[in-house]
A = this chain, B = another copy of it.
Amino acid sequence: MTFRSLIAAAIAPLFAALLAGPAHADVLIENVDGIRIDEDGDLDRFTALWVDDDGTIIEVLDKGDKRPERPTYLSDMEGRVIVPGMIDAHLHVMGIGFGALTLDLSQTNSLEEALALIAEFAQANPGRPWILGRGWNQEKWGLGRFPTAEELDSAVSDRPVFLERVDGHAGWANSRAIEMAEITGKTKDPAGGRIERDASGAPSGVFVDAAAELVQKVVPAPRPVDRDAALYEAQNILLSQGITAVADMGTTLLDWQTYRRAGDSGRLRMRIMSYAAGIEDMEVIGGTGPTPWLYEDRLRLNGVKLYLDGALGSRGAWLKAPYTDDADNTGLPLLTDTQLRNKMSRAAMENYQVAVHAIGDAANAEALAAIEELSESYRGDRRWRIEHAQIVDPADIERFGKYGIIASVQPVHQTSDRLMAEARLGPERLPGAYPWASLKDAGARLALGSDAPVERAAPFVGMAVAMTRIDGDGMPPGGWMARERLSRMAAWRGFTADAAFAGFAEGRFGRLVEGERADFVVIDRDIARASPQAIRETRVLETWIAGKQVYRRGD
């Protein structure tokens, strides 16, 4: 074999790609009322998108601009508004999917209403060995206490029932489930968890944080086919909301395998930036480091999600001072400072991105301290993420400005939690509650999300709340702690370009600019001009990913 032909054979594929270039099938998406944030971060209007056959944008065109000679395809958008695909920077894909397949209690307003719904669901699903669901919130019910196993037995007693609290930080079991889990008055509280007990010390039905595991471990695991169905549901839900990419916060190995099955068989439609559910999952999924971007920028393991504390509702959030409505309780850290630093080091040393769940002010201070220490050894563009950053001691806020820290916050939590947060924290701590504008002013980059299924994945609602801190009922007038509101552009970027940056996806998707993927949404109004209230009511008509329609309202 000659040297020339050796070389030739070696570079053949490369050359083939070049040759294939001219033969691509491009699409001109024409006659749009396009609104985007341009390369300089400014608001920009355009009337057409010219998209290559791999779904990347060749050119963004305005009225006067010359169109391509003869594009292979033309899509007439009939003058409708299109904006960049929305990105949710913090949610749980499989949780959304399984939520759609299980009982949803999030809309119930009283214990009675919930019990009726549970009994009805059990009757409607005689085949199910376990009744599973989520979304209950004793605060919303105005119960003033946790519900009990006995109350749940009154709805279903023939089968085990286990229902996750709205924040995912507590579970409510009936007596059958507690029996099967062999939990008795003698069972000790596990580290990082609490078993709610009656006067006699017997489990009363609710299991907080790590204690929920005691019941979860006897719940039969879903089969792969169930997981595939859940992912299908989750994608339908998210695409219908105009979400084209998400950060999946806590991907287990089995979740990951579900995403790969979908990717391998062309059923992965949206983009998932994945954060493993712990160091073990991270290692077995990514091995030597983050995966490459897979399936044309549809999937990547970015790093790991670590839980430093629980949630405010279940008083699992770790506070510097006791809860105002529970004088002996400051919540609890789920990791010692050594454990946190060891886990962060193991991830950082292999260039995984680290996302630390921190809700209480003590947890946020500890997460900041760990980042400050590790940044000495692990330099470069790390994009340390603090997830939630909900209650921050004002004295700590400026610390978010260093080391390129990303504050990943969920606007709608603020409106849902408002009254509960006031009760838990008391007035003196409220200045540090959901301090979005302060974090941004301090120099943190804000990535915005929903924490779905904890809250609905509804980015236009999230954008409106970020701009107003007013809930769906218009409460409170003027907005809660109004000086922490974000500007329209900041809120919009938080759900698009900045959410992409927070997942190392800039240059791939998140903005409608040349060279990035043509992910966009057709909506029914001009969100650059609409009032926050109008933005909240935005209807998604179509969702497009990589220049192809993946959702259409009414289909």
Contact = CB atoms under 8 A, between A and B. Distances in A.
Contacts of A547: 9, 12
Contacts of A228: 287-288
Interface residues on A, range: 35 or more
A73 B23 contact: no
Interface in A260-291: 260-261, 264-265, 283-288, 291
Given A8-B74, A25-B15, A265 B292 contact: yes
A199 interface: no
Nearest to A73: B8
B285 A1 contact: no
A10 B548 contact: yes
A258 B287 contact: yes
A237 interface: no
A20 B247 CA distance: 35
A288 B225 contact: yes
B287 A224 contact: yes
Contacts of A16: 23-25, 53, 72
Interface stretch (A40-48, A75-83, A321-329, A438-446): A75-83
A22 interface: yes
Contacts of A20: 20, 23-24
Contact of A78 (B1, B12, B225): B1
Given A2-B76, A78-B1, A287 B9 contact: no
Contact of A25 (B13, B227, B265): B13
A257 B287 contact: yes
A24 B6 CA distance: 18
A253 interface: yes
A251 to B, nearest CB: 14
Contacts of A260: 260
A1 B76 contact: yes
A34 to B, nearest CB: 14
B25 A224 contact: no
A291 to B, nearest CB: 6
Copies of this chain present:
2
Contacts of A294: 264
A258 B287 CA distance: 8
B549 A10 contact: yes
A27 interface: yes
Contacts of A77: 1
Contacts of A287: 224-225, 227-228, 257-258, 261
A5 interface: yes
A419 interface: no
A227 to B, nearest CB: 7
B264 A288 contact: no
A19 interface: yes
A254 interface: yes
Contacts of A22: 23
A138 B411 CA distance: 70
A76 B542 CA distance: 54
A264 B295 CA distance: 10
Contact of A9 (B15, B21, B24, B27): B27
A264 B24 CA distance: 24
A285 B264 contact: no
Contacts of A224: 283, 286-288
A284 B9 contact: no
A62 B223 CA distance: 53
A1 B113 CA distance: 44
A292 to B, nearest CB: 5
B12 A548 contact: yes
B9 A548 contact: yes
A201 to B, nearest CB: 38
29 contacts: A1-B75, A1-B76, A1-B78, A6-B549, A8-B27, A8-B74, A9-B27, A9-B547, A12-B53, A12-B72, A13-B53, A15-B25, A19-B24, A19-B25, A19-B72, A20-B23, A22-B23, A224-B287, A225-B288, A228-B287, A228-B288, A253-B253, A254-B284, A258-B287, A260-B260, A261-B288, A261-B291, A264-B291, A264-B294
In the A-B complex, the 5 residue pairs with the closest CB atoms: A224-B287, A16-B25, A8-B73, A16-B53, A19-B23
Given A5-B73, A23-B23, 18 more contacts: A1-B76, A5-B76, A8-B73, A8-B75, A9-B75, A12-B72, A12-B548, A13-B25, A13-B53, A19-B24, A20-B20, A20-B23, A22-B23, A224-B286, A224-B288, A253-B284, A257-B284, A261-B288
